[in-house]
Structures are given as structure tokens and as C-alpha cells.
């Protein structure tokens, strides 16, 4: 599976949009981009995933660049409860396990 | 939705003793479960894949004799840390994929077990 690069930490003001970047320049054509988050002392939680089209669900939006070498997770109106470590994972659809990188520690501040 | 339950959530044990961590799939059967370990401020590292009715598959560098995994039923996998040492202190997390869910986002994680060896 392709490797991802994320900034180690970011701050965001409560109520503002949080934009979390991820670089995956070695992504293959059959690899998807997944985002999970982990709130302190809890198990990871699935957020969203996509292949090449932008995706949106009730939690977030995922913007993937045309060349698919990077993506951005957008939390449109961040709340204090969105404070967590966000993991960007690139993997083949049929893979049977998740490989976590370093993630981005997002701190939402009042 | 599908829930994976871990027990205990926290455990403190003396060096040299063994500790068992349970991972249960509630309301679904899981033929495969995954065990992760996470050190403070570090990412999750896959330790092993637990297979119901057969031996677990361990990742490179993980001692199978130290971290015993038993997946005796379709709803329960256990991880036993044998002869625990302070360096085994960590956050242990299990996950499973409910059948019928998309393997791409169907992973359900337990709430984790924080092990402290003193």
C-alpha cells in the first residue's frame, strides 16, 4: 500500500472549517484514500473514503486532486469534540487490514 | 450499528504475570479479528490477525509465544500477554468487520485496553 504524509499537528477554531491535508504521491490507480480518526483513548472511527471523485457524507468532505497525489479532509464546522488524531490511509480495495501512519493531531480550540 | 466490545478497558498488573484481554463482536459473527498495539503518542501497529478455528497470523517482530491469541468462537478473540514486562505497557485495540458490510469501511474497532505493567 502507498505511503502517506500528513502534518503532525494542526489547530482549528471552533465553528471554522478544518482542512486536513494528505500527500500520497505514490498512489496506484486501484488504491483508495481512507480517513479515520481516533479520539483520545478510544478506537479509530471511520470517516470517509474515495477513489478519484470528491465525496461527502454527514461527517466530512473528501477532496482528491485530479492527479490523485494528494487529498484534503474537510470538517465544515469543527467542534471541540472533533479534537482527535486523523489518519489518512491509502490501500487497495481488497486489502484485509488497515495500516496506520502518523496521522495529524487536530486541536479544535474555543 | 455493529459493536466490538473490549474488556477490560484498563488493567494494571505486576511484572511477570499474564494478562488476558477479550474482544467480543456484539450482534455479529467475526471469522477474522485484528489486534493492534499503540504506544503513547504513536500510531497503531498491527500485531496479528486472529482467525476463528485456526492459528493467528503474526506480524514481523511480534512474538507469538508472548502474545497468545485465541479465537475459539465467532464472537470472541482473546489476547494474552504472558510474562508481562513494563515495556509491554501499551494501548491494545481490536477490530473486526461485520459480515455483509463493505470491507472498505466496515472496520469496527473496540474501545481499547490500556495495559500498565508495574
Model confidence pLDDT, tens digit, residues B35-94: 999 999 899 999 999 988 889 999 999 999 999 999 989 999 999 999 999 999 999 999
Of the partner residues B46, B107, B112, the one whose CB lies closest to the CB of residue A99? B46
- Inter-chain residue contact A43 with B45, CB threshold 8 Å: no
A13-22 pLDDT, tens digit each = 999 999 999 9
B-chain residues near A89 (CB < 8 A): none
Bridge partner list, A54 = none
Q: Report the residue of chain B nearest A39, measured CA to CA.
A: B111
Please list the alpha-helical segments (H only) found in B1-118. none
- Inter-chain residue contact A43 with B111, CB threshold 8 Å: yes
Bridge partner list, A97 = none
Cα separation of A34 and A39, whole Å? 17
A21-58 pLDDT, tens digit each = 999 999 988 888 999 999 998 999 989 999 999 999 99
Distance (Å) of CA A82 to CA A15, A30, A60, B89, B98: 11, 30, 11, 27, 26
CA pseudo-torsion sign B74, B90, B39, A105: positive
Of the partner residues B49, B105, B112, the one whose CB lies closest to the CB of residue A43? B112
Q: Which long-range contacts (CB under 8 A, 24 or more apart) does B48-51 make?
A: B49/A96, B49/A97, B50/B77, B50/B94
At which residue does the C-alpha cell 509491554 appear? B88
C-alpha cell, B15: 511484572
Could you tell me the pLDDT band of residue B106, with boundaries at 50, 70 and 90?
low
Could you tell me the pLDDT band of residue A96, with boundaries at 50, 70 and 90?
low
At which residue does the C-alpha cell 479532509 appear? A73
Sheet order of strands, A55-56 included: A18-23, A70-75, A61-64, A55-56
Q: Report the residue of chain A nearest B115, measured CA to CA.
A: A41
Of the partner residues B49, B93, B103, the one whose CB lies closest to the CB of residue A43? B93
- B8: distance to nearest CA of chain A, Å? 13
A98: closest CA among A18, A26, A38?
A: A38
Amino acid at each position: 500500500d502507498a505511503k502517506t504524509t500528513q502534518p503532525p499537528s494542526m489547530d482549528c477554531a471552533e465553528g471554522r472549517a478544518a482542512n486536513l491535508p494528505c500527500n500520497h504521491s505514490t498512489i496506484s490507480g486501484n488504491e483508495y484514500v481512507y480517513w479515520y480518526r481516533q479520539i483520545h483513548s478510544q478506537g479509530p472511527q471511520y470517516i470517509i473514503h474515495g477513489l478519484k471523485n470528491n465525496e461527502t457524507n454527514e461527517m466530512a468532505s473528501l477532496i482528491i486532486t485530479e492527479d490523485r497525489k494528494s487529498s484534503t479532509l474537510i470538517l465544515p464546522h469543527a467542534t471541540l469534540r472533533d479534537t482527535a488524531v486523523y489518519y489518512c490511509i491509502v490501500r487497495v480495495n481488497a486489502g484485509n487490514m488497515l495500516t496506520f501512519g502518523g496521522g495529524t493531531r487536530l486541536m479544535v480550540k474555543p | 450499528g455493529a459493536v466490538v466490545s473490549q474488556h477490560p478497558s484498563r488493567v494494571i498488573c505486576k511484572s511477570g504475570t499474564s494478562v488476558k484481554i477479550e474482544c467480543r463482536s456484539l450482534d455479529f459473527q467475526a471469522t477474522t479479528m485484528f489486534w493492534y498495539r499503540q504506544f503513547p503518542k504513536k500510531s497503531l501497529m498491527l500485531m496479528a490477525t486472529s482467525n476463528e478455528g485456526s492459528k493467528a497470523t503474526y506480524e514481523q517482530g511480534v512474538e507469538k509465544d508472548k502474545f497468545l491469541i485465541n479465537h475459539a468462537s465467532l464472537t470472541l478473540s482473546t489476547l494474552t500477554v504472558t510474562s508481562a514486562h513494563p515495556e509491554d505497557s501499551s494501548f491494545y485495540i481490536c477490530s473486526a468487520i461485520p459480515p455483509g458490510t463493505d470491507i472498505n469501511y466496515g472496520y469496527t474497532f473496540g474501545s481499547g485496553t490500556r495495559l500498565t505493567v508495574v
